[in-house]
Chains A and B, each alone.
Chain A
């Protein structure tokens, strides 16, 4: 117990308090440090200190948005399930990018890598499902001469469908080429696709033979095989309209493709590589000035025509932003109301110790909120309830100590001896009773349905912080304040009489 009252511990508590306040008020610290107005929107918020985003991460029920759980079915045979899941996540990521969602969260789940969870803030379920479920068809074209064409990747030529499509591709992936110096994209074709690709590449090379890297005449448009998403014969028929061709030839736009109507013109272009040689065997490689990112983008783009698996919707939650904002307001109100009631009650019932416990409670609330920002804990309605409930529970340890304190004073101890004895004797009960809550939280956190995990996490953090707050903070405050004689009056301590000797 002497350890708890020692200065290192006190300094530690003070340090925690200061850090908590800085984290809690990070937005204001940033505004003041940069001489920005304290109200209204300013640039650079939320502040980013060394990678720490110091703001409350709101769950979808508070921010508004859509949550979807997908079941993955029809895994391609013979491929690593975790990789397939990862590839699917990349494709979904690409597709939802078009929705302009801030911080979309797409996570793998499921014991067998067979689930994907998608959280999109500020998007309704219909938009989300349309974008994610969109099926774009990957098509290969060759180029045929058309003098009236002035736009597009190959002026003077228009594309022609080859019959080779995404159905003929089994996978595409970014990789480092064998020399280890540059990024390439590897494509594997299915058996029938391999045959068709072989024929096409042979025709390419035959159009203008030679080494395409050194011989200028070997670099003709007919030697290119171009990859598009959703390119149709109608698009090709409009190729002589240069503005139309330019639009279609711009980089593919998944959002536009997902929402396209017969009248919209979307970017559909993926890549236009030259064929160096005939490729038999169904393993092709696209090289160029790729970075890791651009190679990955292209691979995802090629894959995005068709997801490697089928997606089946398991559940959908859509919360409107207004409802979310309302929930935030209500839970803040409930939290403040709860805190206020507890503080008033403690002060009336326990007087000076109650006041000190209330201060400890404020310390507790500040520290827990800082932890929520730092970890970061994604706050949901249930999570906030867990926190508010833990405020009520945090009082428990203080009550145990104070009741014991009154008993010890009644038994005739001096104030400081009574404080010491009260904390020491209340400790086993505090420890044991909180153990049961922690056990419950751990179990809920591991096996509970996902909706209640947030509750378990915040409650557990709250219970831990309440232990520190009651055992260390309240105890120290009691010892410091009651060291002076000014407060040693029965009326202030809520006891019948005080031993003055």
Chain B
């Protein structure tokens, strides 16, 4: 703790200064009268330890990038095209028995167990007649079959879904960049500082996207888990995470801008650290509530939604982490490499 002590002392003055310059004169008086010694909130020196936090991010991102580069992704049905039949068999056949029955059909199907009697069988795209044949065949080989869901996606639609998804991602990124540019165009330091703010926020955003896509590549393509398959819902998750991450970063940077105006005596690093500390509670609490909700969906929400919930969960945790431990520290590094004057 000793290494933190002088930062702490300085920041308290900064806080007083913030209060000094606040518009409400009554409150100022009150601060002197009724709150002679406000308990200083616990402070961490995040900026001082920024390299540790960058390292932690890289530990997760690098394997993800390696996996994406070598193994790519496991594509869900709406990206890959094909027919997917979800069914349960009350006669409790084993996975091997189901696979054997599917192999015997000669329709190139592959089987995944979903627990209990439930199985998902994936074929190349089947037409109505083929699908009817496959179903009656399964019934013949495995007994009664409760078909819960059948999805058939042709090549045209699959290609279109991929195109639309990519288009949505690109458009959203551009729109959010514009939003950032507009929000931070009047930061002290002019357009160069504004660019640094926007760039750091964008870097934090990319961090989240890479973490999320990397982990899904590892889960889906490396470990072959069904939950790691990417589909239209995954794209939804990525975009929601992008929005959410920018959410958090904007709150930190907003505070930073406010503090930069009022605290002339502190170094840039100290103001950044103060701003992070002032907003961290809010970021963590907000994310925590969303994480609770998502965990509820993940546990109670059934298999269709689990992939979406998991992706949002990873992305939102990552988004909160990056807004606290990456975005503003990156800004400090950038400012060091490229001083304003």
Contacts and interface: CB of A to CB of B under 8 A. Distances in A.
B301 A334 contact: yes
B132 interface: yes
Contacts of B236: 382, 444, 448, 452, 455-456
Q: Which of the four size classes fits the interface of chain B?
A: 35 or more
Contacts of B31: 411-412
B242 to A, nearest CB: 7
B71 to A, nearest CB: 24
A447 B247 contact: no
A78 B102 CA distance: 48
B251 interface: yes
A451 interface: yes
B292 A449 contact: no
Interface string B116-146: 0000000000011001100000000000001
Contact of B296 (A61, A326, A337, A399): A337
B4 interface: no
B158 to A, nearest CB: 8
Interface stretch (B48-56, B57-65, B171-179, B262-270): B171-179
B312 interface: yes
Given A322-B148, A449-B161, A433 B294 contact: no
Interface string A299-333: 00000000000000111111110110011001101
A435 to B, nearest CB: 6
Listed residue (A69, A323, A326) with the most chain B CB atoms within 10 angstroms of its CB: A323
Nearest to B290: A392
Contact of B152 (A316, A337, A496): A316
A437 B312 CA distance: 14
A125 B240 contact: no
Given A316-B151, A449-B161, A322 B146 contact: yes
A315 B19 contact: no
A436 interface: yes
Listed residue (B33, B38, B240) with the most chain A CB atoms within 10 angstroms of its CB: B240
Contacts of A455: 233, 236
Interface string B263-283: 000000000000000100110
B176 to A, nearest CB: 6
Contact of B286 (A388, A399, A440): A399
Contacts of B131: 125-126
B66 interface: no
Contacts of B300: 330, 333-334, 337
A71 interface: yes
Contacts of A317: 149-152
9 contacts: A130-B128, A315-B152, A338-B292, A413-B27, A439-B243, A448-B236, A452-B233, A456-B236, A499-B34
Interface of A: 61, 69, 71, 124-126, 129-130, 133, 313-320, 322-323, 326-327, 330-331, 333-334, 337-338, 341-342, 345-346, 349, 381-382, 385, 388-389, 391-393, 395-396, 399-400, 403, 407-408, 410-414, 417, 421, 428-429, 432-437, 439-440, 443-444, 447-449, 451-452, 455-456, 459, 496-497, 499, 501
Given A330-B302, A337-B300, A341-B292, 15 more contacts: A313-B128, A319-B148, A338-B296, A381-B305, A391-B293, A411-B19, A411-B22, A412-B28, A414-B26, A414-B30, A433-B246, A436-B176, A436-B179, A437-B240, A456-B236
Interface of B: 19, 22, 24, 26-35, 38-39, 78, 86, 127-128, 131-132, 146-154, 156-157, 160-161, 164-165, 167-168, 171-172, 175-176, 179, 183, 232-233, 235-236, 239-240, 242-244, 246-248, 250-251, 254-255, 278, 281-282, 285-286, 288-290, 292-294, 296-297, 299-302, 304-305, 308-309, 312
The 6 closest A-B pairs by CB, nearest first: A412-B30, A412-B31, A392-B290, A338-B293, A392-B293, A318-B150
